[in-house]
Amino acid sequence: MRKVFFGLCFLPFVAAVCFPSMTRAQNPAARSAETARTIPLNADSWTFQPGTVEFLPAAPTIAGVTPQGPAMKILSRRSGGAVVAKNTEFSDGIIDFDIQPTDSNFASFFFHRQDALETECFYLRTDWGAGHPDRMEGVQYNPILKGVFCWNLLPYYQGNASFRQDTWNHIRILIFGRQALIYVNSDTRPTLTIPRLEGNTTHGSLAFDGQMTVAHLVVRPVPATGIGWLCGPEGFDPTDNDPRYLRHWQVTQPDTIPPGIDFGKDLMPGKQTAWSPIQAERRGLVDLTRVFGGNLPRRYEGGPPRRIVWLKTTLRADREWNYQMRLGFTNDVWVFINGKVLYSDKNHYDEPSMKTPRGRVSLDNCSFDLPLKAGANELLIGVANDFFGWGIIARLDDTEGVKIE
């Protein structure tokens, strides 16, 4: 079977994005141009577990709206695995589909999917956002890295959206290079603007997960006459011009924390410990998941014990002074300055230790005094993980008189 492939190597700079109406379920004829390719919604075109998907010869009428063509109804919720399009390779382009999300929690769409371990993911939080257009966590984007769903590392890739479970909704995803715009029932304002897709993959298949009905799945190239500012390989990092972030670190290999132990001195690095350089990514995030993967959540039965790594960097001060440091982290941290204990804390989602914003990595997690002596100061941070992604963001409130090496 011939593969479906969409990719663009060059796109001229133009002034604006000009899309037809985004309410595609109500106006299906509006998306028929631009060499569009419809992905068949039949059993021969998808990989799925037996008994988890029903293929309908015609999309059902819901709330008076009937999308074009057949439909795919996913009956099971995640336990059956994602429903994956066969022989479909997607890199850049526009993806359109109509969806009725009936899942009680999440209705997920995957793109650039290599396998279950490496993919990009956009999803509707039906339990939180369906019928509530002002709720912040209505829709979210996150990559899956090494099998880890990194929702807790990227709190800024979420937003409110107007969608419902009792009718058809239209989704449009526009991807060029590492950037993406995602529209939910809108033709004027992106629901999510993603200046850089954070996954490890740049091409792959399409897939769905969660209980839902999908209709009129169409893929087309980005039109050469309208893409606007979405032209460079990736968007601007808003922290690029901020020298207060601690971006350059040395890191150890992960070590296992024995069950029943929160922390012990024998977990600290010694003179023979090997160190490797690691750099912060966008917005100052030191993403340990991308390097080391993660753990199955320990709170779930059968999950592995926690793992810990150590990060160190040097701050050179021209005087003795107390600086203010902001630290975002997940899940557990132990902070030492010049060999002395400075700070320890936990940030676990849906537990008493959960920090703002809802257990996710952010500079709002905590702040504390950082006493520096004149000269070189070694900052050492232990980071432990047992729940989805892990990493830190560290920033000083002021860098006057201190050099971050």
* pLDDT at residue number 227: 54
- Helices vs strands, H then E, count in the chain: 2, 30
Got the DSSP string for 113-168? ESSSSSEEEEEEEHHHHTT-TT-TTSEEEEEEETTEE-GGG-TTSEE-----SSS-
Q: Which amino acid is at 318?
A: D
Per-residue pLDDT of the chain (405 residues; tens, 9 = 90+): 444 444 433 333 333 333 333 344 434 334 434 588 999 999 999 999 999 999 999 999 999 999 999 999 999 876 568 999 999 999 999 999 999 999 999 999 999 999 999 999 999 999 989 999 999 889 999 999 999 999 999 999 999 999 999 999 999 999 988 999 999 999 889 999 999 999 999 999 999 999 999 999 999 987 765 455 555 678 889 999 999 999 999 999 999 998 888 998 899 999 999 999 999 999 999 999 999 998 765 555 566 788 999 999 999 999 999 999 999 999 999 999 999 999 999 999 989 999 999 999 999 999 999 999 999 999 999 999 988 899 999 999 999 999 988
Whose CA is closest to 68, among 76, 77, 58, 54?
58
Whether residues 181 and 256 share a domain: the answer is no
Whether residues 64 and 197 share a domain: the answer is yes
* DSSP letter assigned to residue 11: -
Q: Is residue 241 part of a domain?
A: no
Whether residues 215 and 253 share a domain: the answer is no
Paired strand residues for 255? 308
* pLDDT at residue number 259: 83
Whether residues 158 and 74 share a domain: the answer is yes
Q: Is residue 243 part of a domain?
A: no
Whether residues 26 and 87 share a domain: the answer is yes
* pLDDT at residue number 188: 86
Q: Is residue 242 part of a domain?
A: no
Task: Please give the backbone phi and psi of residue 220, each rounded to the nearest 5 degrees, phi first.
Answer: -145, 160
Write the CATH number for 95: 2.60.120.560
**In angstroms, rounded to a whole number, what is the distance separating the alpha carbons of residues 365 and 188?**
34
Q: Which amino acid is at 91?
A: S
Whether residues 144 and 90 share a domain: the answer is yes
* pLDDT at residue number 7: 46
Note if the bond before 357 is cis, omega within 30 degrees: yes
289 CB burial (10 A radius; 0-12, 13-18, 19+): buried
Any idea which residue has 């779930």 for tokens?
300
| Two tokens, residue 223 | 């039109």
| Two tokens, residue 79 | 């336990």
Write the CATH number for 319: 2.60.120
Whether residues 156 and 288 share a domain: the answer is no
- Whether the CA torsion 144, 145, 148, 152 is positive or negative: it is negative
**In angstroms, rounded to a whole number, what is the distance separating the alpha carbons of residues 252 and 245?**
21
Q: Is residue 239 part of a domain?
A: no
Q: Largest alpha-carbon pair distance within the chain?
A: 75
Q: Is residue 227 part of a domain?
A: no
How far, in Å, are 105, 134, 245, 276 from residue 125 at the CA level? Answer: 6, 13, 32, 38
**In angstroms, rounded to a whole number, what is the distance separating the alpha carbons of residues 276 and 306?**
21
- What global pTM score does this model have? 0.86
Q: Is residue 154 part of a domain?
A: yes
Report the SS3 class of residue 111. Answer: strand
Q: Is residue 231 part of a domain?
A: no
Whether residues 255 and 204 share a domain: the answer is no
> Which of 170, 201, 220 is the last residue in one of the domains?
220
**In angstroms, rounded to a whole number, what is the distance separating the alpha carbons of residues 371 and 377?**
9
Residues in contact with 341: Cβ distance below 8 Å, sequence separation at least 6, in sequence order: 334, 335
Whether residues 314 and 167 share a domain: the answer is no
Domain range for 257: 248-404
What total of structural domains would you count in the chain? 2
* pLDDT at residue number 405: 82
Give 3-state DSSP helix, strand, coil % of the chain, rounded to 5.
Answer: 5, 40, 55
Whether residues 80 and 184 share a domain: the answer is yes
**Count of C-beta atoms within a 10 Å radius of residue 31:** 22
> Which of 172, 203, 220 is the last residue in one of the domains?
220
Q: Is residue 304 part of a domain?
A: yes
Whether residues 172 and 307 share a domain: the answer is no
Q: What is the CA radius of gyration of the chain?
A: 23
